[in-house]
Amino acid sequence: MHLLRKISLLSLLYFILVPLVVAGSNCLLIKKKHPFHVGTIEWRLKTKNKKMEITVRLFTDDAELGIKKFAGKYIPLDSYRNDLQNKKTIESYFQQNLGIRFNDTSANLSYLGAQEDKESTYFFLLADVPTKFQKLETYCKILYDIYPDQVFIEHFYKDKNTFASSGKIVSPETKIIINIKKPQ
């Protein structure tokens, strides 16, 4: 009888704990950390409406940590749970840590919202673009204060998804400069 209890207990542990361990990051008890810190930024120039559409993709846990450090409190990232004050805080975070300049003139970034996708979150921003410019400079130091090995891959597109350029910045670098051959 005592042996039967041990077998039942072992079976119970096997059928409950093993699936929890296998589930990994989807399990509430076990949270996997990713060993690298990378994000992507897409800059989409829309010449017709003179806008730059910006999409920043970060690991959700990294973004939460960065915004929490900036704001001094946890702020949900998904747009449908954010009130106006939370959206302003997230916008301020990006305005302080991300930027774009046209011919040495900074553009104002407007935060549109965010969307979570599994382990990452997409942040959507918008900037006005001057009619003509010959130099485009991006600035990024998102999460640099948390991860000294943070890397960003930046892609630049013009109008209907035409690929224009690509670049990579690694902390502590913060800028990518693109010289346009002929004025826009």
Structural contact between residues 44 and 52, judged by C-beta atoms closer than 8 angstroms: yes
Strand, coil or helix: 95:
helix
Choose between 162 and 156: higher pLDDT: 156
pLDDT at 111 over 70: yes
Strand, coil or helix: 153:
strand
Is the pTM for the entire model greater than 0.85? Answer: no
pLDDT score of 80: 63
CA separation, residue 168 to residues 39, 150, 184 (Å): 10, 11, 24
pLDDT tens digits, one per residue of 70-81? 999 999 887 666
pLDDT at 16 over 80: no
